[in-house]
Structure 1
Amino acid sequence: MLQDRYQIMGTLGVGGFSAVYQARDMRFPTVTKLCAVKEMVNTAPDPQMREVSISLFEREANILATLDHPSIPTVYDYFTEGERSYV
């Protein structure tokens, strides 16, 4: 369970630096609301570089949230837990 909200149901795909999971949004307990959660692992060895990576991730998530196009998934949430960031 991520953020006490997203229950991971399975893996949709895995790449070099990220994975995409099918998840159920548990804020909707009476219906099955499925979504995709992309996980990016921050492997920067330097703590300062990790902070920069997180900042860039948050910036990208905010930019993506403003886009509206049928070929671009809608961004509803983003967060970081430890060395992993999610959108």
Structure 2
Amino acid sequence: MTALTSDSLKDIIQKRLEADLVQVEDMSGGCGQAFAVIIVTSKFQGKNKLARHRLVNNELRDEIAAIHAFTQKGYTPQEWSDLGGKI
């Protein structure tokens, strides 16, 4: 697997989770070893925080294994809108 970048990780998440919005921040200073992500997708509807994390972790198993740190926040489109986010 080639080294992940913010853009490549964003593309992967958007495709696999059918996300309406993905924000990826490289927390490692550009070396691609630590990422913080925000994911907005209707696939989170009816799922609690743990179930959302498991869904993301399952979909990104190989990518997460290849990096040092991965933090995530997941919202449904309605939750994101309620927080003032725009899609």
The TM-score bracket by the shorter chain reads 0.3 to 0.5
More strand by share: 1
More helix by share: 2
- Structure scoring higher RCO (CA < 8 A, sep ≥ 6) equals 2
Q: TM-score, normalised by structure 1?
A: 0.34
Q: TM-score, normalised by structure 2?
A: 0.34
Structure showing greater radius of gyration is 1
